[in-house]
Structure 1
Amino acid sequence: MRIFTLGIVVLMLFVLNPTTINDNSIESISKIEASVEPSEKSATELLSELANQQFFIKEDQISEDDYVSIEAFGKAFVNLYTGAVTKQEIVSFENYISNANLLKFTDKMLELTQKQELNGASSVNFGFDNEFKEVEFKKLDKNLYYLRLPFSNEGSGMTCELLVQSSNKSLELVDLYFGYKDGVDTITTGHPAVRKLNNPKLWDDQEWVNGVFEKLEQYESELK
């Protein structure tokens, strides 16, 4: 199709003025040809870039100087998650989460949220083009920060709450919560009135984790 299109352009130029087919004309044709080539990255490529990003800080512990990096880290995670939901893609959160239980939960939450989306059971709009509002930071400990990210997509508003710490100068999530009405995390980890993000060891509490995964299993059976 590309060769065919180029041939038509050359033929038209020759018919109009057979003496004007020169290097400049060929250059113009090349520009026309290039303009119809797809230049935007695919959803898979964009998600891969987000998944492969790493966020580092200069010192061993987080400080106020790292707010810009923390904010970028949080927004990248949100875009990765919501983008994966809307595009029905499997992505890796390993550059954002190191805790095995939290990573397993986030993977499962994504899977079930994608099923909700396919079944028309979600009350919010997911996508890449999230519009973020003012970010809230709160220092909870010398190396632990609470981050609240309000955002919207196509008029649908949501909030993502994150607990962020650093390990070997790399930022990582130790807890996360979207908490909208029919959200998988709301159903399995608690209502916003009781679900607080202030414990970096929460996902090491195996008894609590087991209860969460039991609820995940039950909810998954209801989605089928």
Structure 2
Amino acid sequence: MDPSNPSHIAKMFMDYMNDDMDEELVRLVMEEEASSSKRPRRQRRNIERNREDGHDRLFNDYFSQTPVYTNEQFRRRYRMHKHVFLRIVEALGQHDEYFRMMVNATGRSSLSPLQKCTAVIRMLAYGTSADSVDDYLRIGETTTLKCVDKFTKGVINIFGPQYLRRPNAEDIERLMRMGEARGFPGMLGSIDCMHWEWKNCPVALKGKYVRGDHGKPTVMLEAVASQDL
């Protein structure tokens, strides 16, 4: 007898319980099990986005021999130079097969690494939602969020040991020489900062994280980068 069967569970209750009230309770449990199995389940709609068209448009806009947009526009929209972005894409492809071009059993290509990485960078650069990149890149919200998760973990694993660490004595000496050569003696690097909105900031802490000209609680993010980053 299958112990996972609702009828078997009900029989176990009835064997254990003796009076009429206990039997009524078991009957109600069985009715609830039966009604829940008949409830219609929400079907996920499959949208044909024509992802190949999204890749072709993205490639022609930024990565072809004669791209539609200039390198300056790429730098402004991606918040990095093109060669840096392509280096990240290549490194992620070597690190995780999720960022490689795959072909399924029907012979159809998957979303390209350029599409996946561009979706993540656009979200991080503009602070937009996952759904906002769908119409241009032809990539759904759920897939975009998965890309963000894999992208961030991959970048940390690949580049963390080199770039996300404290400088040692050799690094400090090299950075000092670079700064002095550029006319800034004693400078380790360039500092930048931004205010990241803290959506779920506790009310008790709100006053400590609100600027007078902003009105919403934010967390200050600071980073120091060298010229060769």
Q: Structure 2 length as normaliser, TM-score?
A: 0.22
Structure that is richer in strand per residue? 1
Larger radius of gyration: 2
Structure that is richer in helix per residue? 2
Q: Structure 1 length as normaliser, TM-score?
A: 0.22
